[in-house]
Amino acid sequence: MRLSRAGLQAASLAIACAMAPFASPQESALLKPNSEAVYRALRDSGIAEAMLVENIVLRRDAGVITLKSGVMGFTAPALGRDTVAVFVGEGEFALTPASSIEKDYLKSLTDQDSVKETFDRALFCFTDDSGKEIRRDAKPRPADPKLAETLHEFRKRLRTRIEEPRSMVEALLQAEDMDNVEADLLRDLYNPGHAGFFSAYMHGRKHSDLRFHVKPRGAFTQLSAPEEVALVNVDPGEAQEGIWYLSHRGEEIEKHTASSDEDNRTVEAASYRVETAIGRNDHFAARTTLDFRAVTDGDRVIKFALLPTLRVTRVSSGGQDVAFVQEDRREDGSFYVILPQPMARASTHQLVIEYQGDKVVHKAGGGNFSVGARQSWYPSVNSFRDHALYQLVFKVPKQYTLVSIGKLDRQWTEQDLACSEWSSAVPVAVAGFNYGAFTRKDVTDPELPGFAIEGYATSDVPDYLKGAAGGAADAMTPARLIGQTLVETENAMRIYNAWFGKSAFSRIAITQQPEFNFGQSWPTLVYLPLSAYLDSTQRWQLMGLQSRFTDFIDEVTPHEVSHQWWGHMVGWSTFHDQWLSEGFATFSAGLYLQLTEKSPDKCLKYWENARQRILEKNSFGRRANDAGPVWMGLRLISMKNANGYSHVVYRKGAYVLHMLRQLMYDSKLGDKPFIDMMHDFVARHRNGNASTESFQSAVERHMSPLMDVAGNHKMDWFFSEWVYGMAVPRYKFDYTVTPTEDGKWLLKARLTQSDVPANFVMQVPIYLDFGGQVVQLGRVKMAGNATVDSISVPLPKQPKRVLINYWHDVLEQ
C-alpha cells in the first residue's frame, strides 16, 4: 500500500544524488487508525460466513442475476455492513438492452441482441442492500474451501496490473486510475447518504471474465462516462471482447431525464501548483498543491489519476498529515486520499501531495526524450473535464530545455539546474511539458498581434533511427525544418482565428517528439512527430513511397494546431462527445488544405481518402462504419474492427461538420452562416465542455430554411442519421444536356437514393462544371429509397459535365 522505510531510503538516496528536490521525501502518511482498520478489513478479510442459496434472484436495472443453487460466502462486515460475497455453484446472468442503439451495438459484437450467460462462480462487491437481500432467502451452512479459493482467484485478477495491455478494454481497466475495489467500497461506506453500488464479476461458461456494474457515480469512470450501468466482457485478443452495454438507469430512460450533462464527480479542481525536479537519471521528485471544491455532500475519499511508478510519500492539509491509499505499482496501485472529515457540498479544500519515482520521461538518444505520462505525471482529478488554473515550476539539468504549457513567468539557475516557472492565464483541462536538447526558433506575425509562435527541435535523431536507411538517417537534423512547421502553424492560426474565433491563448509552442507517426496537442503546446521534421527525400529514404504517410505529414500540423480550439478552448463532456474534438480537428485539417492550396485537388483527395477509410472493408470483411455510430466513441474499437474508432470518430466525425458546412453554404453569403455558427459555439463553451446536444443547439440557432427538413426548426433528422446512426446512402445520377431552339441548353436528370432507412432524408447538391469553374445549381431533397426523375433546368450554356456532391457534400457509398 505504501513504500517501506528501506525502499524509501533507497529511492531518496538515488534522487538526492541526481538532483536538488523541493523537499526531502518523508515516511508515507499512515492511515489514521480507524481508516487503517476499515480499509485493511476490506482488503484482507477472508470468508467469515457461508450460506446455501437456491433460486435467489437479484434484479439490478437491465441485468438479472439468478443464483439457482450453490454456496455463498460473505467476508466479515465492514462498519456493520456486508460488502463482499463470493458464489460457487450454478448461476445465470441475463440482460436486455434498454435502447435500440445499445441493442444494435451488442449484436455487432456477439450476434445476439440480449445476453444470457450461465456461470459457475462469481464475486459480488456492493454497498447497496444486496447482503440483506441474499441473506433473507439463504440458509447457514459450514464453510467450503472452494469459497476461499474463489475469493483469492478473483482478488488476484482484479489486483494485478498488466504492464502492457493487450486490448483497448484492458488498457482502460489498467489505466492510472485503475479501480481499487476496496478503496471504492470505503468511499461509499464513509458516505452512507450516497446511493450504493453493485458489481458482479462472473466466470461464465462461455465468457470467463464478465463484469456487470450498477454504479450511481458512473459505471465506467475510466471512459469519462456518465452512464451508471455497464456490462464488460474482458477477453483480450478475442472477437467478442468489449464494453457490451453502457447505459443510464432504466428509470432515467423512461422519464427522459438521462443526460450527458450528469455530474458524477466527487470534487472539482480549481487550481494546481506543481513543482517538479527531473534528475540526470530521469528520476522525478515533485509536490502538487491542489485547491478544489466539493461537488457532493458527505464524501471523504477522493480518487486521483497518477502514474503508479510515482510513489506518494506524504499528503497533508494545513500542515497535518492526511491518510491515503496506494498499493504496489504492480497491483491496483491507484492513488486515493482519505480526508479526516466529510466534505460539505461546495466547500473548498487544499491538499499538498509529495511523490517521486520514474518512467515519466525516457531517454531516446540524441538529446531526445519521450514524455510518456502526459496526463498522469502529476496527481489529477477529472482530467480533461475540469478546467483549472496551473502554476508549474520545473528544475532540470541545465543542458536541456523544458517547454511547458502556459506562459513563461521567470527562469533562473541553481547550480547545474535550469529552473523555470510557468502559469496558465486561463483555466485549462490538462498540463504537460516537452523536454530535450532543443534548438529554438521564434516567429512573430503582424496578423496575429500579441501572439507568440515558438518552435523547438533537436539537432540529432533518436537512437532507434541510428543506422537506418543505410546510415543516411544519422545525418538527419530535425531542427533544420523548424521553419517549415512554423509556417504551417502561422497559416493554421490565421485560418482558425477567422473561422472559429480568436485563440484564448497568447502563445503556441510547436515541439518535436521522438515518436515517429503520431502527434498530440496540449493547451499552448503541440507535440509533433519526428517525421514532420524530415523532408520528402529523407522520408523516402526511410520508408519508400507511401502516399498515405505523405498525406499524414500534410495534415498533422494543422490537425494538432486546431486542437487549441477543439479539446482545449472547447472541451468535451463525455466520451460520446469526443468527436467534437477529434472529428472537428480532422475537419480543420481539410479546411486548411482547401484554403492554402491553389488547386482544390488536395482538398478533394483529402475527403475522398476519408470516405474510403470509413467504407473500405478490412480483412474480416468489416467496414469501419460497421463498428457503430459516431456517438459510441472509444467503444468502436474491437478485435475485428481495430480502426473503428479512428475512422469513425475522426473521419466520419469530420464529415458530419463538413456536411453541415455545405448545407449552410449560401450563394450570396458564402460560408458566413457556418463561420457565425462556429464562432457562437466556441464563445458559448470557451474554457468549458461541450456536448453533442449543445453543438446541435448551436446548429439550430443558425440553421437555414433549407435545413429545416422536418419543419420544426430542429436538426434531429441530421444528427439521428449521422451522429447516432450508421446509414450511408448510395446515389445514382443520370442526366442529359440538349440544345434548345432559343440557343440555350436543357438539363434533364434523374437521381436515386438507396441503401437507407425509409425516414432517411438528405439535401443532395447538383453542380455544373464549366471547364475549370464549378458552380452549384441547386439541391434535391431525397427521402428514403426513392428516385426523383423530374429534374429539368434550362441552362444559359453547355456545361462540361453535371455532377452531384462535387465537394463531397454528402458522405456516400
Q: Report pLDDT digits (tens) over 492-521.
A: 999 999 999 999 999 999 999 999 999 999
- pLDDT tens for each residue of 650-678: 999 999 999 999 999 999 999 999 999 99
Q: Which residue has the higher pLDDT, 481 or 4?
A: 481
Cell 496506494 -> residue: 326
Question: What single DSSP character describes residue 44?
Answer: H
Cell 492565464 -> residue: 425
Percent of the chain with pLDDT over 90: 88
Res. 541 pLDDT band, cuts 50 70 90: confident
What cell was used for 611?
A: 470516405
Res. 471 pLDDT band, cuts 50 70 90: confident
Residue 640 and residue 239 in contact, taking contact as beta carbons nearer than 8 Å: yes
The sign of the dihedral angle between the CA atoms of 598, 604, 605, 606 is: positive
- pLDDT tens for each residue of 583-639: 999 999 999 999 999 999 999 999 999 999 999 999 999 999 999 999 999 999 999
Res. 546 pLDDT band, cuts 50 70 90: confident
- pLDDT of 550 higher than 90: no
Count Cβ atoms below 10 Å from residue 220 Cβ, excluding itself.
24
Q: What is the pLDDT of residue 23?
A: 33
d(CA 596, CA 16): 52
**pTM score:** 0.94
Stretch 544-573: mean pLDDT, rounded?
A: 92
- pLDDT tens for each residue of 407-436: 999 999 999 999 999 999 999 999 999 999
Count Cβ atoms below 10 Å from residue 773 Cβ, excluding itself.
9
Count Cβ atoms below 10 Å from residue 784 Cβ, excluding itself.
13
Res. 21 pLDDT band, cuts 50 70 90: very low
Stretch 299-313: mean pLDDT, rounded?
A: 97
Of 337, 283, 275, residue with least CA distance to 309: 283
d(CA 393, CA 373): 17
Residue 434 and residue 367 in contact, taking contact as beta carbons nearer than 8 Å: no
d(CA 504, CA 520): 19
Q: What is the pLDDT of residue 539?
A: 87
Residue 331 and residue 308 in contact, taking contact as beta carbons nearer than 8 Å: no
Burial letters 67-97, b for 16+ CB under 10 A, else e: beebbbbbbeebeebbbbbbbbbebbbebeb
Cell 448461476 -> residue: 91
- pLDDT tens for each residue of 58-86: 999 999 999 999 999 999 999 999 999 99
Q: What is the pLDDT of residue 644?
A: 97
Q: Identify any residues that bridge with 212 across adjacent strands, giving them in sequence order.
A: 200, 231
Q: What is the pLDDT of residue 10?
A: 31
- pLDDT tens for each residue of 700-746: 999 999 999 999 999 999 999 999 999 999 999 999 999 999 999 99
What cell was used for 638?
A: 474491437
Residue 670 makes CB contacts below 8 A (sequence gap 6+) with none
> CB burial class (10 A; 0-12, 13-18, 19+) of residue 615?
middle
What cell was used for 461?
A: 535523431
Res. 224 pLDDT band, cuts 50 70 90: confident
CA distances for 205 relative to 64, 117, 120, 144, angstroms: 17, 7, 7, 22
Residue 790 makes CB contacts below 8 A (sequence gap 6+) with none
H/E segment holding residue 288: strand 284-294
Q: Supply the DSSP string of 434-475, one letter for each residue.
A: EEESEEEEEEE-TTSTT-EEEEEEESS--GGGTTTGGGGGGG
Q: Which residue has the higher pLDDT, 175 or 689?
A: 689
Stretch 207-212: mean pLDDT, rounded?
A: 98
Report phi then psi at 788, rounded to 5. -110, 115
Count Cβ atoms below 10 Å from residue 517 Cβ, excluding itself.
13
- pLDDT of 772 higher than 90: no
> CB burial class (10 A; 0-12, 13-18, 19+) of residue 389?
middle
Stretch 456-479: mean pLDDT, rounded?
A: 91
pLDDT, mean over the chain: 93
Q: What is the pLDDT of residue 475?
A: 85
Q: What is the pLDDT of residue 3?
A: 29
Residue 190 and residue 300 in contact, taking contact as beta carbons nearer than 8 Å: yes
- pLDDT tens for each residue of 335-360: 999 999 999 999 999 999 999 999 99
d(CA 582, CA 649): 7
Res. 545 pLDDT band, cuts 50 70 90: low
Residue 498 and residue 405 in contact, taking contact as beta carbons nearer than 8 Å: no
Q: What is the pLDDT of residue 647?
A: 98
Stretch 398-411: mean pLDDT, rounded?
A: 98
- pLDDT tens for each residue of 127-160: 999 999 999 999 999 988 999 999 999 999 999 9
- Rounded to 5, what percent of the chain is helix, strand, coil? 30, 35, 35
Question: What single DSSP character describes residue 641?
Answer: B
Question: What single DSSP character describes residue 649?
Answer: I
Query: Which amino acid is it at 5?
Result: R
Report phi then psi at 411, rounded to 5. -145, 150
- pLDDT of 321 higher than 70: yes
